[in-house]
Amino acid sequence: MTVHSDSIIALAKWLETPAGHYALMWEQAQFDSVVADLFGYNAVQVGLLQLPALRNNRMPFIFAVDEPISEPSPVDNEFPAEGVEKGVVVLTRFEELPFAAQSLDLLVLPHALEFADDPHQVLREVERVLIPEGHLVITGFNPVSLWGARQVLGRALGAPFLPVAGQFLHLPRLKDWLKLLGFEVNRGRFGCYAPPAHSEKWLSRFGFMERAGDRWWPVCGAVYMVSAVKRVTGMRLIGAIKKERRVAPASIPATAQRTGANSRHSTGKLDVGDS
**2-230 falls under which CATH superfamily?**
Vaccinia Virus protein VP39 (3.40.50.150)
Instruction: Give me the average pLDDT of each 10-residue run along the chain (275 residues).
Output: 57 89 94 94 91 92 79 47 56 88 96 91 96 96 92 85 86 94 93 89 80 78 95 64 55 48 45 42
The pLDDT, as a whole number, for residue 84 is: 42
Domain residues of the chain, as ranges?
2-230
Residue 37: enclosing H or E segment and its boundaries? none
Residue 109's contacts (CB-CB under 8 Å, 6 or more residues apart) are 46, 47, 122, 126, 136, 137, 138, 139
SS3 230: strand
Residues 258 and 112: their CA atoms lie apart, in Å, by 82
- CA distances for 179 relative to 168, 230, 241, angstroms: 19, 9, 32
The pLDDT, as a whole number, for residue 125 is: 95
Contact 174, 138 (CB under 8 A): yes
Q: What is the DSSP string of 103-137?
A: -EEEEEEESTTTTSS-HHHHHHHHHHHEEEEEEEE
The pLDDT, as a whole number, for residue 156 is: 82
Cis peptide before 80 (omega within 30 of 0): yes
Whole-model pTM above 0.95? no
The pLDDT, as a whole number, for residue 190 is: 94
The pLDDT, as a whole number, for residue 27 is: 95
The pLDDT, as a whole number, for residue 263 is: 46
The pLDDT, as a whole number, for residue 113 is: 93
